[in-house]
Amino acid sequence: MAQPLNIMLAGFGGQGILFAGKIIAYAGLIDEREVSWLPSYGPEMRGGTANCSVCLSDEPIGSPLVTEPDALIAMNLPSYERFIDDVVPGGVVVVDSSMVGACTMRHDIEYYTVPATSLAEENGLKGLANVICVGKLLEATGFSTEEVCKQAIDKSVPASKAQLKDANKRALEIGEAWTASVC
């Protein structure tokens, strides 16, 4: 039986926050766990705020709203600043250091900084920084397995964009393999 995991993913609209949450949620479904996926975004969509709560559990989930995340993916500085104090002690934080820059650290949580936006561009995977961050979260928390997450990518990528499945899987692998540094 796996530990329940409440995850908050946050960034600007257009960074693929909801899609990243969908990959994690599908992985939970494939693993036959209880899952909730709750998107939230500002009215301006692209460029506005976007966040997504994902809960994974072996027991029924009481509320899909994540107010005290066990894990946080922050893809920009405003999102980092908004949610960092909500992460539970002992929690895990994955930061896209390309977009967040220097950040104030807490000493009671695990940090993984990944220059995800830069890594995506350097590897010809522009727009897949979100999946790189999911890969690092997978490696840091073990919320599922790489194989299951790749199946989740197959489920999450729409048929009209099927040509992007392999790129998403590559981004996941890059995130898993990244040796994170400290902010």
Domain-located, residue 38:
yes
Domain-located, residue 148:
yes
Domain-located, residue 86:
yes
Domain-located, residue 183:
no
The predicted structure's pLDDT at residue 180: 61
Domain-located, residue 47:
yes
CB 113 within 8 A of CB 105: no
The predicted structure's pLDDT at residue 95: 94
The predicted structure's pLDDT at residue 47: 61
With the CA atoms of 173, 48, 156 and 137 taken in that order, what torsion angle do they form, in degrees rounded to the nearest 10?
Answer: 30
The predicted structure's pLDDT at residue 101: 79
3-state class of 57 per DSSP? Answer: strand
CB 153 within 8 A of CB 165: yes
CB 63 within 8 A of CB 42: no
Domain-located, residue 182:
no
Q: Where are the beta strands (DSSP E) in the chain?
A: 5-12, 34-41, 49-57, 71-74, 92-96, 110-114
With a cut of 70, list the residues of the chain below it in pLDDT.
1-2, 42-48, 180-183
Q: What CATH number does the domain containing 127 carry? A: 3.40.920.10
Host domain of residue 27: 5-177
The predicted structure's pLDDT at residue 45: 53
The predicted structure's pLDDT at residue 14: 85
Domain-located, residue 57:
yes
Backbone angle region of 80, left / alpha / beta, with phi > 0 → left and psi within -120 to 50 → alpha: alpha
Domain-located, residue 137:
yes
**Count of domains observed in the chain:** 1
